[in-house]
Amino acid sequence: MSARPLSRLFSNCARRQAAFSLGPASISIPSTQASSSSSSSASASSASTSSSTPCYDPSLTAALPPLRYHIFREPLPYPLGLKLQNDIIDVRLEAKKRDPVGSRGKGDVVLLLEHTPTYTTGRRDNSPNPDELHPEEKKVQNVGASFYITKRGGQVTYHGPGQLVGYPILDLNVMETPTRCYVEYLQAMLAEYAREDLGLQNVLAPHPDGHVGVFASPTEKFASIGIHLRHRITSHGFAMNITPQPIPWFDLVLACGLADVRAISLHDLLARAQSHSHSQKSVEVIPPVPLTVRDTAEALIPKFGEMFNREILPLEESTEMETKSNLSGSGREGEEEVAAIRRLVERAEEEARVENEKNGGWPDRPDLSKRG
Amino acid sequence: MLSLRFARAASALRTVAAPKPVSRAMRFSAVRFASTRYTTDHEWVTFDGNTNVGTVGITEYAQKALGDVVFVELPGQGSEVAQGDSIGAVESVKAASDIYAPVSGIVDEINEALADQPSLLNKAPESDGWLCKVKLSDPAEFEALLSAEAYKAHCEGE
pLDDT (0 to 100) of residue B51: 93
pLDDT tens-digit profile of B36-52? 999 999 999 999 989 99
**A18 and A51 in contact (C-beta within 8 Å)?**
yes
For the domain spanning B24-148, the CATH number is 2.40.50.100
Give the largest CA-CA distance in chain B. Answer: 60
The DSSP code for A163 is: E
**Least confident span in A33-47, A116-130, A223-237, A252-266:** A33-47
CA distance A130 to chain B (A): 16
How is residue A119 annotated by DSSP? Answer: E
Report the alpha-carbon distance of residue B129 to residue B126 in Å, rounded: 6
pLDDT at A212 over 80: yes
* Bridge partners (DSSP) listed for residue A113: A165
* Higher pLDDT, residue A315 or B19: A315
CB A99 within 8 A of CB A332: no
**DSSP class per residue in B50-105:** TTTEEEEEE-HHHHHHH-SEEEEE-PPTT-EE-TT-EEEEEEETTEEEEEE-SS-E
- Distance from the Cα of A301 to chain B's closest Cα (Å) equals 22
CB-based contact A226 B94, cutoff 8 Å: yes
pLDDT confidence of A38, banded at 50, 70, 90? very low
Domain locations along chain A? 61-316+327-357
B68 and A22 within 8 Å at the Cβ level: the answer is: yes
Cα distance between residue B144 and residue B122, in whole Å: 27
pLDDT tens readout for residues B59-113: 999 998 888 999 999 999 999 999 999 999 999 979 999 999 999 999 999 999 9
Report the DSSP pairing between strands A214-217 and A220-230: antiparallel
**Which chain B residue lies closest to A213 (C-alpha atoms)?**
B94
DSSP code of residue A368: G
Lowest mean pLDDT among A110-114, B4-8, B60-64, B109-113: B4-8
**A/B interface, count of CB pairs below 8 Å:** 107
Which residue of chain B is at minimal alpha-carbon distance from A56? B65
For the stretch A295-308, what's the b/e string if a residue is b when 16 or more beta carbons lie within 10 angstroms of its beta carbon? ebbebbbebbbbbb
Is residue B158's pLDDT more than 80? no
- Using one digit for the tens of pLDDT, what is the confidence trace for A53-100? 347 665 565 689 999 999 999 999 999 999 999 999 999 999 999 998
What's the CA gap between A364 and A355, in Å, rounded? 17
Report the pLDDT value the prediction gives residue B9, as an integer from 0 to 100.
Answer: 39
Distance CA B148, CA B105 (A): 23
Is residue B67 within 8 A of residue A179, CB to CB? The reply is: yes
Task: For an interface test with A, give the residue of B60, B94, B110, B147 to mutate (most A CBs within 10 A).
Answer: B94
Q: Which amino acid is at A92?
A: R
Interface probe, candidates A16, A157, A232, chain B, greatest B C-beta count within 10 A: A232
Say whether B91 and A153 touch across the interface (CB within 8 A).
yes
One of 2.40.50.140, 3.20.20.70, 3.30.930.10, 3.40.50.300 is the CATH number of A61-316+327-357, namely 3.30.930.10
> Which pLDDT value is given to residue A62?
61
Amino acid at A24: P
Question: Between chains, do B61 and A38 touch, taking CB under 8 Å as contact?
Answer: yes
The Cα–Cα gap between A148 and A210 comes to: 26
Question: Is A181 annotated as catalytic?
Answer: no
CB atoms within 10 A of CB B86: 15
At residue A247, does pLDDT exceed 60?
yes
Contacting residues of A for B89, CB less than 8 Å apart = 123, 151
As a whole number of angstroms, the distance between CA A53 and CA A25 comes to 8
A364 strand-pairing partners: none
> Shortest CA distance to B109 belongs to which of B55, B34, B51?
B55
Catalytic-labelled residue, pool A13, A55, A181, A256? A256
Q: What is the C-alpha to C-alpha distance for residues A165 and A113, in angstroms, rounded to an integer?
A: 5
Residue A93 one-letter amino acid: L
pLDDT band at A141 (very low <50, low <70, confident <90, very high): confident
B-chain CB neighbours of A22 within 8 Å are 67-68, 93
Burial code (b: 16+ CB inside 10 Å, e: under 16) for B98-128 equals bbbbbbbbebbebbeebeeebebbbebbbee
Helix, strand or coil, per DSSP, at residue A246: coil
Measure A283 CA to nearest chain B CA, in Å: 45
Partner-chain residue, chosen from B60, B71, B94, that has the shortest CB–CB distance to A212: B94
**Among candidates A22, A174, A231 on the partner chain, residue whose Cβ is nearest the Cβ of B41:** A231
User: Of A282, A294, A45, A61, whose CA–CA distance to A172 is shortest?
Assistant: A61
ipTM over 0.85: no
A109, A70 in Cβ contact below 8 A?
A: yes
Environment class of A30 (CB within 10 Å of its CB; exposed 0-12, middle 13-18, buried 19+) = buried
pLDDT-based confidence at residue A131 (cuts at 50, 70, 90):
confident
List the single residue in B73, B92, B93 with the smallest CB-CB distance to A123: B73
* pLDDT (0 to 100) of residue B14: 44
Shortest alpha-carbon distance between residue A369 and chain B (Å):
34
Angle formed at CA A172 by CA A313 and CA B93, multiple of 5 degrees = 115
Could you tell me if A342 and A69 are in contact, meaning their C-beta atoms sit under 8 angstroms apart? no
Q: How far is A360 from chain B (nearest CA, A)?
A: 34
Any alpha helices (H) in chain A, and if so which ranges? 6-20, 42-45, 78-98, 135-139, 179-192, 247-250, 266-280, 293-308, 320-323, 330-359
Nearest CA in chain A to B92: A153
Are the beta carbons of A151 and B89 separated by less than 8 Å?
yes
Q: Which of A38, A124, A228 sits opposite B156 (nearest CB)?
A: A38
Residue A269 scores a pLDDT above 60: yes
Chain A CB contacts of B86 under 8 Å are 230
Q: Which of A342, A325, A349 is nearest to A107 (CA)?
A: A342
Cβ contact A247:A221 at 8 Å: no
Q: Higher-confidence residue: A355 or B33?
A: A355
